[in-house]
């Protein structure tokens, strides 16, 4: 009986945790932040947000959507007085060692995905816990007003410039 109760508790906690992203309050997207590929933005806290992109079927379209959403992230942050941000996705978390904090290197890393068919090294931009899962971009970010020593942060001004159409 204890095993059954434990199992039910684990399922309940998993359901709650997997629904956390949707439980944030939906943010009205300002026109200056909107792109043709940005779908929704959710606020999880004062400076923590989730940006969701439109579904993209092909690999090249997923890269375009990722770039577009990253541009929206930069614009939104700058318009709200932030200068820096960190990615917080499970496998792409700058606070836990994800080493990329600029668009050029993130894009180069993402472009390795279709070229790698085996081995131990597999880019984690795509798939469960990555920035793009099942064709849909979903990026969790934490914004900062100033740089913090020891944190691997993105400069929003540089990101906005690098991802401009």
Query: What pLDDT tens digit does each residue of the chain (165 aa) get?
Result: 554 444 344 344 334 433 444 557 888 777 777 777 888 899 998 899 999 999 988 888 888 999 999 999 999 999 999 999 999 998 889 999 888 999 999 998 887 765 554 544 455 787 777 888 888 899 999 999 999 888 889 999 999 999 997
The domain spans of the chain are 26-162
Q: Which pTM was predicted?
A: 0.79
Structure tokens at 153: 């942060």
**Which CA distances in Å does 90 have to 1, 14, 80?**
33, 15, 25
Assign residue 129 a region (left: φ > 0; alpha: ψ between -120 and 50; beta: otherwise).
left
Q: For Cα atoms 67, 35, 87, give the angle at the middle one, nearest 5 degrees.
A: 45
């Amino acid at each position: 009986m204890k095993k059954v109760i434990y199992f039910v508790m684990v399922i309940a906690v998993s359901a709650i945790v997997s629904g956390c992203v949707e439980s944030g309050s939906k943010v009205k997207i300002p026109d200056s932040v909107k792109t043709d590929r940005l779908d929704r933005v959710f606020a999880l806290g004062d400076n923590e947000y989730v940006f969701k992109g439109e579904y993209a079927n092909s690999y090249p379209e997923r890269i375009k959507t990722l770039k577009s959403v990253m541009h929206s992230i930069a614009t939104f942050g700058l318009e709200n007085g932030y200068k820096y941000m960190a990615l917080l996705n499970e496998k792409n978390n700058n606070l836990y060692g994800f080493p990329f904090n600029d668009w050029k290197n993130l894009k180069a890393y993402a472009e390795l995905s279709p070229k790698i068919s085996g081995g131990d090294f597999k880019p984690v931009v795509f798939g469960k816990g990555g920035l793009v899962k099942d064709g849909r971009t979903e990026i969790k970010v934490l914004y900062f007003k100033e740089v913090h020593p020891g944190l691997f942060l993105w400069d929003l001004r540089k990101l906005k410039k690098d991802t401009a159409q």
